[in-house]
Amino acid sequence: MCGPEVMASVRQQVRQGRAVDRRRFIGGAGAIAAAGALGPLRGLTQGATPIATPLAGGRTISFESVVNLSHSLTPESPVWPNRPPFQVEAATTVAVEGFYANMLTYHEHVGTHIDAPAHFVDGGDPVDAIAPERLVAPLVVLDVTAQAEADEDYAVSVDDILAWESEYGPLPDGAFVAFTSGWDARFSDAEAFVNLDAEGVQHYPGFAPDAAVFLIEQRSIVGIGTDTLSQDPGNSTDFGTHVAILGAGLYGIEGAANLGEVPASGATVIVGAPNHAGGSGGPARLLALV
């Protein structure tokens, strides 16, 4: 687990504009290879109709259902305090121009979205530089709904990860580790989702920084995901989880939907990340193949 000296080192490297060396955290595990990230994908079928789609090395994927893990993005979608809302304006219409298109204006970190390393690391990888094979991964879902009901500021812990492993076995290599807290049910009510108190402090669950660093040091993951507004608990003042995850060259997903509808183990996530050059992140479409 992470001690104060580990977090201090991470923060120092981030302040100096240097990406954290992941090899220091994960030892000999190295970078996640495409074969490792796609290892669990076998034989493509949808329902009872087999559809063969070969992947690298002749592999195919197989699933029985697809679960949408993203909220629809609207002008009413929750945003970080004092950030502008998503805006959509009709640019052309079928009735007048013969085709329909909109003009979109939005902050990169709105709705269900991805945080690239560049979001917190000066010189870190932008969203378009995230390797495509890292956007398809075994999906691990930690269920902390009971804890979140008891404590709005709940920080997902190393113990939560170990409890998952005691039931389902070791985290798969190249996993995307997310939690479901039930907070996604609040998404249609921006005020309840952001949950500001009288002092302007946000309150919702997130990953504890030491749990994030445990995943970096002791396990092999591609990123983490939350069904809340941030990787960190809402009342965080130092964003330690952001610093650790993005500083290690991984990515985070915030504002995911329907994680409670997928199994804790065995599904595959596809992260439809945006691809604009130099982006710090952006709205994303997440799909779970079950």
CA distance 267 to 5: 36
For the chain, give the longest Cα–Cα distance. Answer: 63
Q: Is there a contact between 205 and 226 (Cβ–Cβ < 8 Å)? A: yes
Inside any domain, residue 148: yes
- How open is the CA angle 79-80-83, to the nearest 5 degrees? 80
Average pLDDT of the segment spanning 128-151: 98
Residue-wise pLDDT for 23-80, tens only, equals 444 333 333 333 333 333 333 334 433 444 455 566 676 899 999 999 999 999 999 9
- Partners of 105 in the β-ladder: 87
Average pLDDT of the segment spanning 158-187: 98
CA distance 103 to 233: 33
* Residue in this structure with the two tokens 């697809």, named with its chain if needed: 66
Per the structure, the complete domain to which residue 266 belongs is given by 4-35+65-78+108-289
Inside any domain, residue 93: no
Looking up residue 137, the CATH number of its domain turns out to be 3.50.30.50
Residue-wise pLDDT for 208-222, tens only, equals 999 999 999 999 999
The structural domain count of the chain equals: 1
Inside any domain, residue 174: yes
CA distance 278 to 135: 17
Token digits of residue 225: 């995901």
